[in-house]
Amino acid sequence: MFRKFEDLIDPFTPADHGTPSASLWTYLRTELKPFHKWLPWMALTGMLVALMESGLVFYSGRLIDLMNAAGAAAFWDAHKVEVLCVAFFILFLRPLVITFNHLFLEQTLASNMQEQVRWRAHKHLLGQSTSFFQNDFAGRLSNRVMQMGPALEDSVYMAFEGIWYSVTYVVGATLVLTQIDYRLGIPMAIWLALYIMYVRKIAVRVASASEKWSDARSLVTGRVVDAYANVETVKLFAHGAREEAYALSAMRRLRLRFQRFLRLMTELSFGLNALNGLLMVGVIAPAVWLWTLELVTVGEVAAAAALVIRLNGMSGWIMWVTIRLFEHAGVMREGLRSIAVKQDVVDAPDAKPLVVTNAAVQIENLTHHYGKGHGGLDNVSLTIPAGQKIGLIGRSGAGKSSLVNLLLRFRDAESGRILIDGQSVSGVTQDSLRQQIGMVTQDSSLLHRSVRANILYGKPGATEAEMIAAAERAEAHQFIQDLRDPEGRAGYNAQVGERGVKLSGGQRQRIAIARVILKDAPILILDEATSALDSEVEAAIQKTLYGVMEGKTVIAIAHRLSTIAQMDRIVVLDQGRVVEDGTHEALLAQNGLYADLWSRQSGGFLAKDD
């Protein structure tokens, strides 16, 4: 039974939903679309549950009148069929309707909505460019993704379980009171109008306060996670107190905004109790007065009193539900600031997978200034024949990283293009492009998973033997055998910690190199690939890398010029332009920038600018 209702919706249905709408109502409609067949059933069963509740109160008054009229001796003989029917309804039919209502609300809606929202938000954010993540806290982004699911699910759930149920109950109660005497419906109608106006006034303020509170909460999360993720740097520079102050300023702001939110709750409580007092006196007093005039019965007075006392208790809950809805609206608006952002690097509508036959790279008039008009690359043209290995050098800011980022299509070039075997990187799918490029960076971070999972990231379908062979070539197999994490997992099953913090820099680098070796892509990019290794290991890894380079098109970035002197060509960038291009010997003979940098090396590293 439970599984049947849970499986009415698949929250992970693969589909391209595009950029989420920044409009809250449009976003809600989009997320509710998979549930559209079941929403009417939620509404119908919820309405029946509410009408049954007000009907039971009404019948309790009728029961009192029947008892009073028939007397104890004749009551059962006169009314046993009616009483048994009501008992059957209460014992069997009422629980059945309530159960179906909860099955729809909890198994169909609640168990799927949260994960659908989170999955879609996470999927959309994963498609964002690297610059998107560089401009925000990872903690804040993850907090917004995680908060969106519960906020939206709870909103929809309470809209049915709270608002729809309550509206139906109030309507039913009003009809019951009007049926007893139309004059009893008047104070109920007045109370309802005042209640709606008051809730609306407070709720709008709550929505604004909640959005600010949620924003402050995300800021605290971002700052705390930032400190934890960079705890080594914090301790290295002895800035624990500075980080405390940095987080404390955000926490003070969070406290202030939370206090403002709670002030609204206290104000709300006062107004609610005043309105409820008006409701009870406004209905019960006229009911008693009408009884004194013998216009209504004792049972009807009891029913009217029970209805408004029940509504008195319910009104606080209704108010709380309404406030929670507006609070969630604030949370969702805050989350949409990150989630409803259009992806700036997307596959072309007609994009096809990249087909690599030779791995030749052609760069034509490539210009990219990051929208600033300067910096980056300026009209760079470069041809890298298939299988050629080039060294890419230049001072900091010369454009080396920009060239690599554009080749990987982490960004789209402002003008010019990059071709691989005649195919523009902007015209092929991003995944297929990056599957054909292996890259080892200077600071290769690892996933907070096992060593095995990190190496197999290069080729998920690889065999155990292939994985171990890659680790051996990267001079990593031996130290991996000695690894053990706090949970007792050892070797390739040991967890490496967030970004690989449980390993030394050299160990992380060797696992990253093993991952790229296993990937075996036809184009290889090395960005200071051996800088984190000691001299002995570096010598062995360099030999391995030269073997890995065989048959591949290679771009190697290095500040230690001796590591790229044996490349087929060396390309020198300066201020975003190619200023020299040739072999090591040819460039030295030119006595230009490369020769100057070579002569000014200290310990084999590229010297800084004067």
The residue ranges of every structural domain in the chain are: 2-339, 358-435+569-610
Q: Residue 129, SS3?
A: coil
Gyration radius of the chain's alpha carbons: 35
CB 419 within 8 A of CB 364: yes
Residue with tokens 């290995």: 389
Compute the distance between CA of residue 369 and CA of residue 202 in angstroms, rounded to an integer.
Answer: 49
Compute the distance between CA of residue 473 and CA of residue 513 in angstroms, rounded to an integer.
Answer: 9
* Residues with pLDDT less than 50, the chain: 602-610
Kindly report the CATH class assigned to 2-339: mainly alpha
Pick from 249, 202, 201, 197: nearest CA to 223: 249
State the pLDDT at residue 394.
Answer: 85
CB 367 within 8 A of CB 415: yes
Q: Which long-range contacts (CB under 8 A, 24 or more apart) does 531-535 make?
A: 531/442, 531/559, 531/560, 532/442, 532/443, 532/505, 532/506, 532/508, 533/506, 533/509, 534/506
At 262-302, the pLDDT tens digits run 888 787 778 777 887 887 888 888 888 888 888 888 888 88
Pick from 368, 386, 389: nearest CA to 377: 368
State the pLDDT at residue 609.
Answer: 43
State the pLDDT at residue 601.
Answer: 66
DSSP 602: B
CB 298 within 8 A of CB 68: yes
Q: What CATH code is assigned to 358-435+569-610?
A: 3.40.50.300
State the pLDDT at residue 603.
Answer: 42
Backbone angles phi, psi at 390, to 5 degrees: -115, 145
